[in-house]
Amino acid sequence: MNTLYLYTIVGVGLFTLGLYALLIHSDLLRKILAINIMGSGVFLILVALAARTQGAVPDPVPHAMVITGIVVAVSATALALALVIRVRTKVGHANLPEQSLE
Amino acid sequence: MEAMTSLPLMTLMQLLFDTLLGFALLWLGWRALASPDLFQAIVLFIAFGLLMAIVWVRLDAPDVALAEAAIGAGLTGALLLTTLARLEAKNRSKSALEKKHKVWLMTENVKLKTASFLWLMVILMLLVSGLVYAVLTLQEQTFELQMLVSKNLESSGVSNPVTAVLLNFRGYDTLLEMSVLLLALLGVWSFGGIPKPHESLPGPVLNMLSRLLIPLLIIVAGYFLWVGSDAPGGAFQGGSVLGAAGVLLLLVGWRLCIRFVGLPLRIILVFGLGVFVSAAVVLIFLGRQFMEYPPSVAGALILLIEAAATLSIGITLAALFLVGRPEFRRHK
């Protein structure tokens, strides 16, 4: 068992954890946190798979993709946070309406 | 790695460290999402980002580690905290102490029937097992892409393969990435001016610290830019460090002189993208493909593009921190 596969499984775990939190929370700021953690999970899988070959230099292409991904993630987060502030000034709170998942 | 097999203790230690790091990552991620206090959640998220940076180093991806520490943990954390401050939310949820398991499962604010909760769990479990199966049964790594990069590295003008991919082989991605960053800022600005700039005077510690740190951050940004051609670093790492310096300046109450907020600021914001696109277009007129850098000048071209990009990325990230368009016309 290679430790790289350990990291890919942790990546899958983070992705699912983030997805669950995204679905369950009604607070918008927490949903943004959840999306960021989902993204981190995806990045972790990509970089861990890039280093699969023992001893060799890891593949630089996924690394470049992940750096691009991190910058896109911070752009999306900044826009989403500005939207949350906007929602808060318009509606008075930054939550989705209370609802039962039924 | 062959040398490691003769040192089983070393391998065991590494395995232990990796396992510990993996579990710490999951634990922090979960606590960041489940903790009832939003401020605490964001601080945990920043810690999560820093731990992520250590993981990138463990996975031999120092370029990604630098980007994660500066952007993923640093700037995202700063953005989240400033948003929280602006929301002025009563962020401690009432039910925090009611039922511990509800907090742990993050369901304290959700009316959820047990049956539908179980269904959700089943679906997520199926997703996890499907994803784990897909990841573990992937075919052996193909070397084609990696070979292609190392074969053509010499003609790319830089010797750091990640920078070569970012600025030369897959320059198109980076061009679009910078457009996304600019579009995000345009989106934020389209909501109008800065909401309620309730400012407080910075304490003496922050004041002194920023005086020490800002020149240092600017030097570090320049170093990352320069070293990026043959070692971990580059435009995005340098740009985000410059952005951090900008955030620090904004925190101590510094504002751009109103004369420069209009056109000059906008020119700097699009400068990186402009240089990138014009380099690519000029090369078409010289009989090359779009973004095909001639190997003799590729190194210089990449450095030029990266220098412009570093400046623009830094200023854009600092402007995003303001969460709103700075006013540039004097009120009558």
Helix axes B295-321, A60-91, angle to 10 degrees: 20
Residue B151 lies in a domain: no
- Enumerate the residues of chain B whose CB falls inside 8 A of the CB of residue A100: 110-113
Q: Kindly state whether residue A59 falls inside one of the protein's structural domains.
A: yes
Does residue B149 lie in a domain region?
no
User: Region A56-82: what's the mean pLDDT?
Assistant: 89
Domain check: are B323 and B232 in the same one?
yes
Chain B residues whose beta carbon lies within 8 Å of the beta carbon of residue A34: 33
User: Do residues B178 and B169 lie in contact, with contact meaning Cβ atoms separated by under 8 Å?
Assistant: no
**Alpha-carbon span B100 to B26, nearest angstrom:** 19
Domain stops at, among B92, B125, B147: B92
CA distance B328 to chain A (A): 20
In a domain? residue A18? yes
Determine the Cα–Cα distance for residues A65 and B171; give it in Å rounded to an integer: 11
* Max intra-chain CA distance, chain B: 78
Q: Which of B43, B71, B76 is nearest to B56 (CA)?
A: B71
Q: Tell whether B267 and B305 lie within a shared domain.
A: yes
B110 shares its domain with B212:
no
Question: What average pLDDT does range B280-289 have in this prediction?
Answer: 84
Question: Which run of H or E residues covers position B319?
Answer: helix B295-321
Where helices occur in B191-230 by DSSP H, the ranges are 204-227
Q: Across B109-171, where does the E strand assignment appear? A: none
Sign of CA dihedral B27, B33, B37, B40: positive
Distance from CA of B38 to the nearest CA of A (A): 8
Q: For B68-88, give the DSSP string.
A: IIIIIIIIHHHHHHHHHHHHT
Q: Which of B146, B186, B250 would best serve as a mutation to test chain A binding (most A beta carbons within 10 A)?
A: B146
The answer to whether B57 touches B215, Cβ cutoff 8 Å, is: no
Average pLDDT of span B38-61:
92
Are residues B290 and B251 part of one domain?
yes
A27: β partners: A95
Other residues' Cβ atoms within 10 Å of the Cβ of residue B130: 11
- A96 touches B at CB < 8 Å: no
Residues 27-46 of A with CB under 8 A from B: 27, 29-30, 32-34, 36-37, 40, 43-45
The answer to whether residue B147 sits within a structural domain is no
Domain that residue B219 falls in: 160-332
When pLDDT is averaged across residues B298-313 and rounded to a whole number, the result is 90
Q: Classify residue B148: in a domain, yes or no.
A: no
Residue B145 domain-assigned?
A: no
CATH of residue A50's domain is: 1.10.287.3510
The reply to whether B276 and B320 lie within a common domain is yes
Q: Name the amino acid, one letter, at A17.
A: L
Structure letter (DSSP) for residue A55? S
CA distance B177 to B166: 10
Kindly report the nearest CA distance between residue A96 and chain B, in angstroms: 11
Residue among A60, A86, A80, A1 nearest B59 (CA):
A60
- Domain total of chain A: 1
Is B193 strand, coil or helix?
Answer: strand
Q: Specify the higher pLDDT residue, A35 or B255.
A: A35
Instruction: Look up the domain containing A70 and give its range.
Output: 3-91
Instruction: Give the helix/strand (H/E) hosting B240.
Output: helix B235-251
Range with the largest mean pLDDT of A18-27, A83-92, B136-145: A18-27
Q: With bands split at pLDDT 50, 70 and 90, how would you rate the model's confidence at B280?
A: confident
Residue A80 has what pLDDT? Answer: 93
Structure confidence by residue, pLDDT tens digits, A2-55 = 677 889 999 999 999 999 999 888 888 999 999 999 999 999 999 988 887 666
Nearest to B264 by CA among B216, B321, B192, B319: B319
Query: Chain-wide mean pLDDT for chain B?
Result: 83
Let me know whether B41 and B9 are in one domain: yes
Name the residue type at position B106. M
Give the pair of three-digit tokens for residue B124.
Answer: 């997520």
CA distance B22 to A3: 10
Same domain, B197 and B266: yes
Instruction: Tell me whether B83 touches chain A (CB under 8 Å).
Output: yes
Q: Work out the angle at residue A80's Cα, subtended by the Cα atoms of residues B126 and B313, and round it to the nearest 5 degrees.
A: 110
Tens digits of residue pLDDT in B54-106: 999 988 888 999 999 988 888 999 999 988 888 875 544 444 455 666 667 77
In a domain, B190, yes or no: yes
Q: In this structure, is residue B279 part of a structural domain?
A: yes
Are both B284 and B215 inside the same structural domain? yes
The b/e string for B278-305 (b: 16+ C-beta within 10 A; e otherwise) is ebbeebeeeeeeebebeeeebbebbbeb
**Type of residue at B94:** K
Least trusted range by pLDDT, from A29-43, A88-102, B40-54, B299-313? A88-102
- Which tens digit of pLDDT belongs to each residue from B186-244? 999 888 766 555 566 778 888 888 889 999 999 999 999 998 888 888 888 999 999 99
Residue pair A74/B317 in contact by the 8 Å Cβ criterion? yes
Do residues B255 and B292 both lie within one domain? yes
Give counts: helices (H), strands (E), chain B.
Answer: 15, 0
- Binned at pLDDT 50, 70 and 90, residue A102 comes out as very low
CB B175, CB A44: distance < 8 Å: no
A98 lies in a domain?
A: no
Is residue B143 assigned to a domain? no
Among chain B residues, the shortest Cα distance to A73 is held by B72
Same domain, B66 and B109: no
**Does B55 sit within 8 Å of A68, measured CB to CB?**
no
**Is B67 touching A (CB cutoff 8 A)?**
yes
